[in-house]
Amino acid sequence: MAGRPFFIQRPEDAVRHVNLLAKGLRKVAIAGWVGGGGCTLLAIFISRFFSIRNPHPDAVPGFQEVAGITFVTWFMALALLLFSSLYFISGWGLAHQKSWARYAAAGTFLSKILLCIWLGRGSTAAMIVFLFIASWDVYGLWVLLAKQTGQLFGSTDVAKAPAKPANLAT
Per-residue pLDDT of the chain (170 residues; tens, 9 = 90+): 455 656 777 778 888 888 999 999 999 999 999 999 999 999 899 888 776 665 565 655 555 667 778 888 899 999 999 999 999 999 999 999 898 999 999 999 999 989 888 888 888 888 888 888 888 899 889 888 888 888 888 744 444 444 455 555 55
Q: What is the C-alpha to C-alpha distance for residues 28 and 166, in angstroms, rounded to an integer?
A: 48
Task: State whether the Cα torsion 75-29-39-136 is positive or negative.
Answer: negative
Distances (CA, A) of 20 to 54, 56, 69, 136, 144: 51, 55, 36, 11, 12
Per residue in 115-161, pLDDT tens?
A: 888 888 888 888 888 888 888 899 889 888 888 888 888 744 444 44
DSSP state of 102: H
The pLDDT of residue 70 is 84
The pLDDT of residue 82 is 95
The pLDDT of residue 169 is 57
The pLDDT of residue 156 is 46
The pLDDT of residue 62 is 56
The pLDDT of residue 145 is 86
